[in-house]
Amino acid sequence: MAGPRMTVVAALQLAAGVPLSRILAFEDELRGVDLVVLPEAVLGGYPGRTPFVEYFHAAVPVPGPETAALAGLASRTGASLVAGVIERDGSTLYSTAVFLDPDLGLVGKHRKLVPTARERVFWGRGDGSTLPVIPTAAGLAGAAICWENHMPLLRAAMYAKGVQIWCAPTADDREVWQASMRHIADEGRCFVVSACPYESAGDDRFRGGSVIVGPTGDVLAGPLQDGEGLITAEIDLDELVAARKSLDVSGHYARPDVFALTVDERPRDGVTFLR
């Protein structure tokens, strides 16, 4: 009889908009970790703090030199990375989660579907073409960014894709965020890794609150507050099998005869050229 398949997941709590070198400095700490989640806008920064032209030029192309450097970090440490970046595509910015594989480099991205409040002045909206679930050493990983986690239909779509590691880069440092992360873990019967910024200076501060939650809502690590750092938890995917015996919201607990969800994953470009 096979024993448990244990892996290690982590959240790396840093400020939003740190220099790339600040992330790379954690190389030694990331060795031995299978999957690491970093906060929303860890590269590029949170909007409204600098003049827009400066903010625009701080955003990163995907793919680009910054994602190549993160891919190098993944390769050297053996850890898959899920990092929140401000992506620059043409003249539009997106809050994006990028997926970096130790062997394959940049393997996917998810653009935030609905920016919140002042974010809407700065960021465009993603479409259904960037809703990946990515194989990692820790399990199938998907991402929802900040308040996307409050979108029930997005959650239903990701559950149906079989997500095992729910990655939640965020800028929400409220106490109630912890309740949301525990609810998603319990509802989706998945492991949740949420990474939030920590910043102690300036008018727009973040208290942190990065957390790792098990598939029945139990907190496994964190919440980490009032400081930068790395939190880790050892997990066993067989716990998902046991947890989904009683609740599988896209399987035996679904009622397709009553409810239906259609997800349009076609890219929605502003201009289509027909030849």
How far is CA 207 from each of CA 11, 125, 166, 174, 195, rounded to the nearest angstrom? Answer: 15, 27, 22, 8, 12
Q: Token digits for 159?
A: 């559950």
The Cα–Cα gap between 52 and 61 comes to: 17
Q: In angstroms, rounded to a whole number, what is the distance separating the alpha carbons of residues 194 and 175?
A: 13
Residues 25 and 68: beta-carbon distance below 8 Å: no
Q: Is there a catalytic annotation at residue 29?
A: no
Active site residue 190: no
Backbone phi, psi, residue 96, to 5° = -130, 145
**Could you tell me which residues come within 8 angstroms of residue 205 by beta carbon, excluding any fewer than 6 positions away?**
199
Catalytic residue among 87, 112, 199, 228: 112
Among the listed residues 66, 87, 119, 146, the single catalytic one is: 146
Cα(18)–Cα(242) distance, rounded to whole angstroms?
40
Strand segments, DSSP code E, in the chain are 6-13, 35-37, 80-89, 92-101, 105-111, 133-136, 139-143, 165-169, 191-195, 198-199, 206-213, 219-225, 229-236
DSSP codes of every residue in 65-78: HHHHHHHHHHHHHT
| Residue 239 among the catalytic residues | no
Q: CB of 55 within 8 A of CB of 16?
A: no
User: At residue 230, what is the residue type?
Assistant: L
Return the active site residues: 40, 112, 146
